Structure 1
Amino acid sequence: MSETGDEVRTRAAGGASGLLWWARRRSAALDVTLALLSMVECAFEGRAFAGEADIPVAAGIALGLVVGSTLVLRRRYPIAVVLITVAIIPAQMGFLLSLVGLYTLAASDVPRRIIALLTGMQLVGGLIVVYLDLRSDVGPQLSSDWFVFFAAATLTLSTVVPPVLLGMYVGARRRLVEALRERTDGLERELLLLAERAEERAEWARGEERARIAREMHDVVAHRVSLMVVHAAALQAVALKDPEKASRNAALVGDMGRQALTELRTMLGVLRSADGLPAAGATAASPAAAAERPLAKVAEYAAAAAQREAAAAGPRLGELGQLVEQSRAAGMRVELSVEGEVCGFAAVVEQTAFRVVQEALTNVHKHAGGARTRVRLAYRGTEVAVQVENESPVSGADSGLPSGGNGLLGMKERVTALGGGFVSGPTESGGFRVSAVIPDVTRAGTSA
């Protein structure tokens, strides 16, 4: 037998306030009250049935009490209760039992075909008993058979159909409410999951931004300071022998220092625009707010990053000549060659290519100061390629500048983030080579 859906779900949830198969104590009190009323009714009807069936009155009353008491099982065994009402139809007892039993059956999760079958049995049995009872009371001489049948059908339908329809309505309404509640719970879980994922995306965005800032700071400071150190060493060497050359070196050191400060001020200035972003540990007051706030946070970080990129667009490939001249002024033997038809690429592509060359030259300054260096720039339609290769360094050419080991890693991160390829390593002649190929997706889409 089957319980109602509400009872099953409450018991599955382990409701502590229930009693036996009842989810709530007031449900148990209601069923017990209905069962007592049904027992009283069936006892009176059983006494009348005993007189008609010529059986002891005590047996009829006992039968009525037993039959009426089964109503207490209506939530647990609704099918059994209805079958009992069908079985006692000839005894003409259990009117309340029939009404409540049919209502409970129709409101439960019992399959519809079983509800229809039991309702049909109740209708047929009730129709036969009522027809025979009316026929014997009215008599064939006072009315036709069709009138008796119509009256019997009307009485039977009026006692069977209403509780069934009411039960079906209440059951459908309950299932709808449960479905809506489950859907609401599901939406809350999805919103919480979205909030967690949005927090992860926000944290990832912050990490990416920190890595980008670290790369920019490294590129700006390492290259400029390396050149300043080289010029300062040359200034110290020629200060007494060639005052004019020492003056030129001092002027170069000053220019490079001012350039480094200018780039740092620009970077720090645009970083201040992100000071108003929401804190990472902020929590939402509701699942919906928890989902919306991190999503807005990611959008704000993205907007701030775009603003910083626009405000500090950085160097372009056209400035490679100046970069090479600065290295030459520092005493490096460096050559620049450009291949292909010169064309414009996206700002981030040109900036990345420039930073690769800049960092490679910085490494040459640090570790191979006297080595001959070649810088190649190749325009290939939808991509740009750069290569910096130095010959074997002169013995003792290391400048003694500190190296954190982040230069090559930063270059690789920049290039691979744009879908390009990066290769670095020693050459067979004892030098070092850095190569990068960076595609421009915007130009590829245009050409396609």
Structure 2
Amino acid sequence: MSPPTTRPRSAFLLRLVPLALAVTYLPLADRPGDPVDGWAWLIGLGAGALFAFGRRIPLTMVLCLSALLVVSDRIGTHADVVVILATFAALIDLALRRGRRWIAVGVLAAGVGLFANFVDVPLTPLQPPFFVVVTGVIASLLGAPVLLGLHLKAARLATAEAQQRANLLEQRQESEKAMVRATERTAIARELHDIVVHHVASIVLRVGVARHLDPDADPETVAALDDVHATGTAALADLRRLVAVLRDPTTLDEEAHAPLLDPADLPDLLLQAVARSRNAGLSLEASVDPTVAGLDAVRGLALLRVVQEGLTNVLKHAGPQASATVNVSATADGAVRIDIADDGTAAARRPATGGHGLLGLRERIHLLGGEFEAGPGRSGWRIHAVLPAAAGRTPVLAAASA
């Protein structure tokens, strides 16, 4: 933040130089027999103040200072040095901020003021060589600040053009990156649709057919087929939504998120995940705090994914005789703790870093500022995660329930 504030402040301090010169020079010019009168102070301070606050009216500033040059010479004050310096500085401003036509008008006015200040007008008799020399000197004096102002203008324009080119280059790079990302998303969506969605749809169809092939099947088999059919149908719907989002990210709005997770349904969704694991044959004890229904959609979805992935890992790796516990609890400060543990003998064979599912969970939790651990526990495998309290939310006291 320092450059934007320092530059205008330093520029304004430079504009105070003629005013500071008037304050320091005029007392030094006061001599016995030739005192600095009130007119000198009025003209000197007026010229300094005009330059200090006339940045937005450079041509008017030059015209007024040129008039002050003539007035100062006619009155015979000691403020000529201050007015001349302010005039040169004003010409720099004029060349920096206005076009050639107005620069020419300002130079002509300043030249008349300087000529009247340097030479006793009218000339009696007019000496052409002297007139030419004086005119040349005045032109040289006026040319220096004008050239300096034009140089500063060219440098400023070059800087602006360079900045514009840099911005265009950055925009082009961002556009190319967006195009690459869009191409990658489209390719992923195509593969998901042509391969994964196709196979999941085939599984759902075959399970639906299998439910009707044996009308005398035992209730456990029917329940298992119904559960597989419901899970596959839900997975198919999620995959199709994912494909739609990958092809058109603009569909990722609040309306699109609404069917994915309603926070009020979160406790029921967690218990459904537990029930599916039990139906698959897992011995499972679960404790879900009902206050998690007050979570926002983002943290609620992360909580649901942790429980789903954790139970899936137990079913895949813990072994057929394993048992597991799931504990979801809210703390007094509004955070949520998730603990999933099993006593499977196959825990030692699992890699410490977990697979892609655990990696995704770790990234999801860390993005929310939480903690995630997965690895061997006392007798099996353990997953521990903490979702921090959302900013700006009132902490809710935990009320554990079985």
TM-score (norm 2): 0.51
Structure 1 residue ranges without an equivalent (≥5) = 1-106, 108-122, 128-145, 275-300, 399-403
In structure 2, the partner of 1:182 is: 158
State the shift of 1:382 in Å. Answer: 2.5
- What are the Cα deviations for residues 36-69 of structure 1, in whole angstroms up to 9, with x where unaligned? xxxxxxxxxxxxxxxxxxxxxxxxxxxxxxxxxx
State the shift of 1:159 in Å. Answer: 3.5
In structure 2, the partner of 1:439 is: 388
* Equivalent in 387, 397, 409 of residue 339 of structure 2: 387
SS of the counterpart of 2:312? helix
In structure 1, the partner of 2:367 is: 417
Q: Write the mapping of 1:271-290 to structure 2, written as runs, cut at 5 A.
A: 271-272=246-247, 274=248
State the shift of 1:181 in Å. Answer: 3.0
**Separation in structure 1 between the aligned mates of residue 168 and residue 160 of structure 2, nearest angstrom:** 12
1:353 paired to 2:328: no
Which structure has the larger Rg? 1
- The alignment of Structure 1 onto Structure 2 pairs a total of residues equal to 256
* Equivalent in 234, 240, 249 of residue 224 of structure 2: 249
**Separation in structure 2 between the aligned mates of residue 416 and residue 345 of structure 1, nearest angstrom:** 17
Letter in 2 for 1:387: D
**Separation in structure 1 between the aligned mates of residue 230 and residue 123 of structure 2, nearest angstrom:** 118
Residues 382 and 441 in structure 1, CA contact (< 8 A), matched pair in contact too: yes
- What are the Cα deviations for residues 281-325 of structure 1, in whole angstroms up to 9, with x where unaligned? xxxxxxxxxxxxxxxxxxxx5x55445862553375321011111
SS of the counterpart of 1:435? strand
- What are the Cα deviations for residues 93-134 of structure 1, in whole angstroms up to 9, with x where unaligned? xxxxxxxxxxxxxx9xxxxxxxxxxxxxxx9xxx9xxxxxxx
Structure 2 residue ranges without an equivalent (≥5) = 1-91, 93-114, 397-402
* Equivalent in 238, 248, 264 of residue 263 of structure 1: 238
- What are the Cα deviations for residues 8-63 of structure 1, in whole angstroms up to 9, with x where unaligned? xxxxxxxxxxxxxxxxxxxxxxxxxxxxxxxxxxxxxxxxxxxxxxxxxxxxxxxx
**Separation in structure 2 between the aligned mates of residue 393 and residue 338 of structure 1, nearest angstrom:** 26
In structure 1, the partner of 2:19 is: none
Residues 310 and 340 in structure 2, CA contact (< 8 A), matched pair in contact too: yes
State the shift of 1:339 in Å. Answer: 4.6
SS of the counterpart of 2:344? coil
Structure 1 residues 266 and 147 mapped into 2: Cα distance closer, same or farther (>3 Å)? closer
State the shift of 1:345 in Å. Answer: 1.2
**Separation in structure 2 between the aligned mates of residue 307 and residue 201 of structure 1, nearest angstrom:** 26
State the shift of 1:179 in Å. Answer: 1.8
**Separation in structure 1 between the aligned mates of residue 160 and residue 378 of structure 2, nearest angstrom:** 67
Letter in 2 for 1:437: V
**Separation in structure 1 between the aligned mates of residue 254 and residue 310 of structure 2, nearest angstrom:** 28
State the shift of 1:147 in Å. Answer: 7.7
State the shift of 1:155 in Å. Answer: 2.6
Aligned-residue sequence identity (percent) comes to 30
- What are the Cα deviations for residues 207-248 of structure 1, in whole angstroms up to 9, with x where unaligned? 9989x99xx99xx99xx99x99xxx9xx9xxx9x97343233
1:364 paired to 2:314: yes
Letter in 2 for 1:386: I
Q: Write the mapping of 1:74-93 to structure 2, written as runs, cut at 5 A.
A: none
- What are the Cα deviations for residues 236-285 of structure 1, in whole angstroms up to 9, with x where unaligned? xxx9x97343233323322222222233233334444x1xxxxxxxxxxx
Q: Write the mapping of 1:207-246 to structure 2, written as runs, cut at 5 A.
A: 243-246=218-221
Residues 328 and 339 in structure 2, CA contact (< 8 A), matched pair in contact too: yes
Residues 283 and 323 in structure 2, CA contact (< 8 A), matched pair in contact too: yes
Structure 1 residues 376 and 206 mapped into 2: Cα distance closer, same or farther (>3 Å)? farther
In structure 1, the partner of 2:174 is: 198
SS of the counterpart of 1:437? strand
Structure 1 residues 304 and 346 mapped into 2: Cα distance closer, same or farther (>3 Å)? same
State the shift of 1:149 in Å. Answer: 9.5
* Equivalent in 323, 333, 340 of residue 283 of structure 2: 333
**Separation in structure 1 between the aligned mates of residue 256 and residue 341 of structure 2, nearest angstrom:** 30
**Separation in structure 1 between the aligned mates of residue 251 and residue 234 of structure 2, nearest angstrom:** 25
> Is 336-345 or 252-261 further displaced after alignment?
336-345
Structure 1 residues 157 and 407 mapped into 2: Cα distance closer, same or farther (>3 Å)? same
1:378 paired to 2:329: yes
In structure 2, the partner of 1:313 is: 260
